[in-house]
A and B are shown apart, each in its own frame.
Chain A
Amino acid sequence: MRTPVDAGLDPRGERASAGQDLFAPSAWERWKGVKEKVARLVFLGMTLALVLPVVVIVGYLIFRAWPVLSLSFLLENPRNYMTAGGIWAPLVGTFCLVFFSLLVAAPIGILAGVYLNEYARDNWLTRIINLAVMNLAGVPSIVHGLFGVGAFVMFAHMGRSVLAAACTLAVMSLPVIITSTREALGAVPMAFREACWNVGASRWQTVRTIVLPNSISGMLTGVIFEVSRAAGETAPILFTGAVFFAPVPDHGWASLFPYGPGDRCMALSMHLFTLATQVRDAPESIQYGTAVVLMGLILAVNGLSIGLRTYLRSRKRW
């Protein structure tokens, strides 16, 4: 066993004979240890400074919304100029909008992702497409709203309608779906594709039989994530189809599918905005209730997407 003398810390054996423990930290080392602990605490503090306010705020919202939260709140229509009742119409409106927008965006986005990952060569066109996807992702939501008004409401003569709003949301959703599709496709190892090419399968056959089946779950995660994002958007639908008040039947079959493609609709995000800014005497609990339902809906769908992603990681087939 090496002694401190052998380790060179105490060549003449002086400190050892004086009874000092030579591997104990020196003053300088102790100071460094203190700095390290302080730094760790500072960073922890920064993280908590983010996390805690949000937890507190979310808790406060739920607390203020509690008197109003119930099943009937979800299932009733707003009454009495929105000062009473529930949020059924906006809830259904949001579902309609998100559903139609993904009906358009998902096929285009997924196929675009397939193109970019499987077919695109390394040339200037591909670089421009990548740049376009990045910029589409960065366009402010109100500019998407302006585009929706200019292109869908006016130019395509859809008027302010569910269709126009859904198309606007679809263009907004495209970059996220493209990116998540590319990630899902990229997770399939290149070796599989090469093995398929070498036995005479064409590119499309390889994609259809090996790549797509093994990445469809990743793509689904991306689409679900986009659902949660699209449900919360207000600016794109503000002028393209969502309105202040669009009554729907209270019960019966029509109350489940009240909005056709040409109708104007209510939406949960717009409803919250309206309640907070344009409705006099809207009870605060209803406002908090709407905010909590919207947030809860989005967090639930987002949680579903995260959960699906975690589940898939444990189920890899290679």
Chain B
Amino acid sequence: MKSIDPMRREGEADGTDPAGTAAQPACAAPVRPRRFGLRWLWAARVRAWRWLVRFLRAALEPVIEWTIRLCGWSAILFVVAIFVFVFYWASHALWGGLDLVEFFTSPNWRPTSDVRPQYGILALMVGTLSVTVLAMAIAVPLGLGAAVYISEFCSGRPKETLKVVVELLAAIPSVVWGFIGYMVLGPIIMDLTGAPVGVSLLNAGVVLALMSVPIIVSVGEDALKAVPDSYREAALAMGASRWEVVYRVLFPAAKNGLLAAVLLGVGRAIGETMAVLLCSGHAIQIPHSVLDPVRTLTATIAAELGETVEGEMHYSVLFLIGLVLFAVTFVVNLIADLVVKGIRRENAG
């Protein structure tokens, strides 16, 4: 008598079914031979079909899991690949006799000179640094202030609206920011300060600040949200005003997260290309005032790569600048990551 329990196990210790997807019902499909002699063919066909389905299902699952595994490892592959390819093309400069000391210490960037091409990036590094410092000087107080306001001083509809506005701020692409700096802010600066050119360190700094603020606000807000409510309640119960709660309790408690927010903003500012290309100017010099035009490392690559030929020294040096940028942002992100890990360890401990 056939069992009517479909879960009745048959062929239990069958090692050929790693996914365990077998256990077909006990009643097989009825064999209906049309003519004597075809009976065997029918039965064989059904058996073969069932075997194929079981085999495919069992074979497909490890294939899928391996595909998933490979995709997971792909992130490492891509980071390494970026390094390898940029390094490969940059190395042509090194084999071609580039003086590394001059590279890092000379402010003379004259790659197209007929007399003697010079590849000193000091002015460019100072440009990147000065734009970043100015941008952070504006963005960090504003961003952290906004993070505090959104996190502590408002709630409900205004809070949701502000958060949406900050996200939309983050969505504006860098080329549009650059356009704004170039077309809108430039003339304003020229009018207000009488500077001869609108594109300058100041212009780029302000634009970059507005671009970096959203990341500082959102990461900072996360850091403040992570501070347990019990801290706030304890401070309020002891009679602290809300400002005191922020200043004396939240900032010390969330300092790692806030630091990570600032570092991520710095990383963003250092790596920004199109906005600074459009608003920082074309003069490759060490700036003496905020109204001077400057050039950053990123803008130099973007501006000059199109005019070089593959294999030329100039071309390879631009790749070398890319390598320097890669290394710097790698380090900044590593530090930010360690800082965040420091928070997790503190919170867990």
Contact = CB atoms under 8 A, between A and B. Distances in A.
Range of interface residues on chain B?
35 or more
Contacts of A133: 75
A116 B180 CA distance: 40
Given A138-B332, A140-B271, A53 B302 contact: no
Contacts of B271: 138-143
Contact of A142 (B89, B143, B273, B310): B273
A276 B172 contact: no
Interface centre among A107, A154, A233, A234 (most CB of B within 10 A): A234
B51 interface: no
Contact of B20 (A115, A202, A239): A202
Contacts of B301: 142, 145-146
A305 B93 CA distance: 44
Nearest to B88: A150
Interface centre among A46, A116, A131 (most CB of B within 10 A): A46
A232 B178 CA distance: 12
A47 B150 contact: yes
A272 B180 CA distance: 11
Contacts of A35: 241, 243
A171 B85 CA distance: 14
B162 interface: yes
B286 interface: no
Contacts, number: 253
Nearest to A144: B82
Contacts of B167: 302, 306
A139 B329 contact: yes
Given A51-B162, A202-B20, A202-B61, A134 B173 contact: no
A61 B182 CA distance: 13
Interface string B47-84: 00000000000000100110111011111101101100
B72 A150 contact: no
Interface string B139-182: 00111011011100100000000101111110111111011101
A46 B141 contact: yes
A191 interface: no
Interface stretch (A5-13, A247-255, A291-299): A291-299
A235 interface: yes
Contact of A54 (B64, B175, B183, B210): B210
Interface in A248-306: 269, 272-273, 276-277, 284, 287-288, 291, 294-295, 298-299, 302-303, 306
Interface string A197-231: 00010111100000000000000000000001101
A177 B18 CA distance: 32
A284 B183 contact: yes
A1 to B, nearest CB: 24
Interface in B270-302: 270-274, 278, 298, 301-302
Contacts of B205: none
B86 A147 contact: yes
A43 B174 contact: no
B326 interface: yes
B322 interface: yes
Given A39-B242, A146-B86, A146-B322, A57 B76 contact: no
Contacts of A232: 171-176
A169 B100 CA distance: 32
Contacts of A39: 241-243, 246
Contacts of B270: 140
Interface centre among B61, B82, B88, B89 (most CB of A within 10 A): B82
Given A140-B273, A151-B81, A302-B171, A276 B176 contact: no
B86 A150 contact: yes
B65 A276 contact: no
A36 B241 contact: yes
Contact of A44 (B72, B82, B149): B149
B333 A138 contact: yes
Given A60-B184, A302-B167, A302-B168, A291 B179 contact: yes
A128 B68 CA distance: 17
A119 B65 contact: yes
Contact of A43 (B78, B149, B166, B213): B149
A238 B210 CA distance: 24
A46 B319 contact: no
B325 interface: yes
B331 to A, nearest CB: 10
A184 interface: no
Contact of A119 (B69, B171, B180): B69
A298 B78 contact: no
Contact of A61 (B64, B180, B213, B305): B180
A50 B82 contact: no
B244 to A, nearest CB: 8
B341 to A, nearest CB: 10
14 contacts: A54-B172, A119-B72, A120-B72, A132-B79, A136-B78, A139-B271, A143-B271, A143-B322, A143-B329, A174-B78, A232-B171, A273-B178, A298-B171, A306-B164
Interface of A: 32-33, 35-36, 39-40, 42-44, 46-47, 49-51, 53-54, 57, 60-61, 107-109, 111-112, 114-116, 119-120, 128-129, 131-147, 149-151, 154-155, 171, 174-175, 178, 200, 202-205, 228-229, 231-235, 238-239, 269, 272-273, 276-277, 284, 287-288, 291, 294-295, 298-299, 302-303, 306
Given A40-B243, A57-B180, A111-B71, 9 more contacts: A51-B165, A54-B172, A129-B72, A135-B333, A140-B329, A146-B89, A147-B85, A150-B89, A294-B176
